[in-house]
Amino acid sequence: MVKRGEFEFVNLRYKPKNDLVCLFKIFPNNISIEKAANTVALESSVGTWTKVRGQEYVEKLKAKVFSIKGNFLKIAYPEELFEKDNVPNILSSIAGNIMGMKAVKAIRLEDVSFPKSILRSFKGPRYGIEGIRKFMKIKGRPLLGTIIKPKLGLNTEHHARSAYESWIGGCDIVKDDENLASQKFNLFENRLVKTLEMADRAEEETGERKAYLVNVTAETKEMIKRAQLVENQGGKYVMIDMLTAGWAALQTLRESDFDLAIHAHRAMHAAFDRNPNHGISMFVLADFARLIGVDQIHIGTGIGKLEGDIREIEGLIEEIESRNIKAAKHRLEQRWGDIRPVLGVSSGGLHPRHVPFLMKHLGKNLVIQAGGGIHGHPLGTKAGAIAMRQAIDATLQKISLEKYAKTHVELEEALREWKK
């Protein structure tokens, strides 16, 4: 192993070639920024804290700090350090022990840029934006989704009925919430069958495609069994809590032989990204999810009940040059060879008044997903879904919600319920 030298992992003249490049924000712990940077590169590649003789040949694989600007530094990792199609291996290196080092008070992995060899080793999304729009037969507008509420406690009959009312009101997709699995009050298989029956009924009545995103998150073998049930029953989608299930489980689901779109819920993401000075940014989490192959992923709202700055959320759709190291204009749609772009899902405390804001900042390639903002409508779930579709229609037509509401009672009631 390479012995620890004060700055031997710092080379500000180095130009990355076939490297994996990371952007870190670090706060040194009573040492210089250069020494802290050197320690990060050492610990996350081939270095050790003491001298080890006779293995100097590994020096060619050491990481290199090639940029230090303020508290930000860029580190290049030779591609040979990684098993190409192994996300746990990659993250164990670039976001592993370094998160707990004494050399830094705090450290945050802000961004990652992958070499072509790693990009080519992953399948990426089966469908992505274009594929989802194609099988859902939706063009030119955001998709509208909802989450069954209350998220826990409903019996199967009420769950399926709520889904049906959402669909006939105008929702394209209905999904389970992150903590609904196969509890006694709403067993997975019964819920799947009855809710898909309601989806078929809603399709017949509306002439629109409808999709149910059932949560298959479980121990990996059970998860695959549940996904197989979805496909056997004619389902189009599955949902997985990608972080609590784990990267390996997510990859197992993607690489299984299912023709199912994958909806990635990001439950637990704030444990990684809420602290602006420590952890892993949502940019990085989204990149690894896209590499593995989710078709759509929660990105936040910038409005509503959950934490999230609209500038950062916009960055998941469109690049913010000061925040990252990639040159592409669109984050979830950046050019990655054959890897398809991912559809962003905005969810968390949304209602019709939020629609113009979301479409202005996040565009049309988006799932606008409202739970309480649909089911909490004064006239019920169906009217709530109608109101959300009306808000989308008004925004597409560049008509203010207040003006549109004068001839659309469901939207009028929603605006009265959720005041500015």
Instruction: Evaluate if residue 278 carries a pLDDT over 80.
Output: yes
Q: What is the mean pLDDT of the chain?
A: 89
In 3D space, the residue among 135, 85, 142 whose CA is nearest the CA of residue 114 turns out to be 85
Residue 192's pLDDT band (boundaries 50, 70, 90)?
very high
How high is the pLDDT of residue 59?
81
Q: Give the whole-number percent of the chain exceeding pLDDT 70.
A: 89
Mean pLDDT of 191-202: 98
Residue 306's pLDDT band (boundaries 50, 70, 90)?
very low
Q: Would you please indicate which residues are annotated as catalytic (active-site) residues?
A: 149, 265
| pLDDT (tens digit per residue) in 215-247 | 999 999 999 999 999 999 999 999 999 999 999
The CATH number of the domain holding residue 87 is 3.30.70.150
What's the CA gap between 273 and 361, in Å, rounded? 21
How high is the pLDDT of residue 373?
96
Residue 146 domain boundaries: 128-417
Structure tokens at 369: 């997903």
Residues 109 and 172 in one domain: no
Residue at a domain's end among 120, 136, 170: 120
Mean pLDDT of 111-135: 95
Residues 211 and 349 in one domain: yes
Please, are residues 62 and 266 in contact by the beta-carbon 8 Å criterion?
Answer: no
How high is the pLDDT of residue 194?
98
Please give the tally of structural domains in the chain: 2
Structure tokens at 400: 């203010």
Mean pLDDT of 16-26: 94
Task: Output the CA torsion sign for 24, 29, 30, 36.
Answer: negative
Q: Looking up tokens 């009217």, which residue turns up?
A: 383
How high is the pLDDT of residue 332?
81
Residue at a domain's end among 81, 102, 120: 120
Residues 205 and 70 in one domain: no
How high is the pLDDT of residue 146?
97
Residues 134 and 63 in one domain: no
Residues 148 and 111 in one domain: no
Mean pLDDT of 42-51: 77
Task: Point out which residues pair with 264 in neighbouring strands.
Answer: 240, 297
Q: Residue 271 domain-assigned?
A: yes
Residue at a domain's end among 90, 120, 150: 120
How high is the pLDDT of residue 7?
84
How high is the pLDDT of residue 60?
86
